[in-house]
Amino acid sequence: MADALDGSDASSLTRERKLDLIWSGTHPDFRGIAGKVNPAGRPAEHIGRRTILVYERGVGTVLKLLDELTDDEIACKLSFARCMIGTPTSEGEINCGMAP
């Protein structure tokens, strides 16, 4: 993951590549495959798709299909990945999306 984010501008990556980076950088406890444990608990069209836990303001932590992340959620997750590996943003700062 570090190689893909090292000194690069995330805007140059495709959406699919960004999702792959988010998936690979997310701890297994916070990601999964829809329907793997309980197929009856998900709509049929979701079975087998990647899921990830995300925080939604005003709601809390929710399970969401990875490919349905919004652009803002993707940017936040990539920013967090940069923070975790210590890679600076294009402005030269490490930004975890948290206020000082």
- Show the CA angle centred on residue 65, arms to residues 64 and 69, nearest 5°: 80
Phi/psi for 96 (5° steps) reads -95, 5
**Each residue's pLDDT tens digit, 56-83:** 889 999 999 999 999 999 998 888 766 6
Instruction: Report residue 97's pLDDT band, with 50, 70 and 90 as the boundaries.
Output: very low
Q: Where is pLDDT greater, at 4 or 62?
A: 62
**DSSP, res 99:** -
**pTM summary value:** 0.71
Phi/psi for 95 (5° steps) reads -120, 115
Radius of gyration (C-alpha) of the chain in whole angstroms: 15
87/23 Cα distance (integer angstroms): 18
Average pLDDT over the chain reads 80
Q: Where is pLDDT greater, at 59 or 97?
A: 59
Report, as an integer, the average pLDDT of 24-49.
Answer: 93
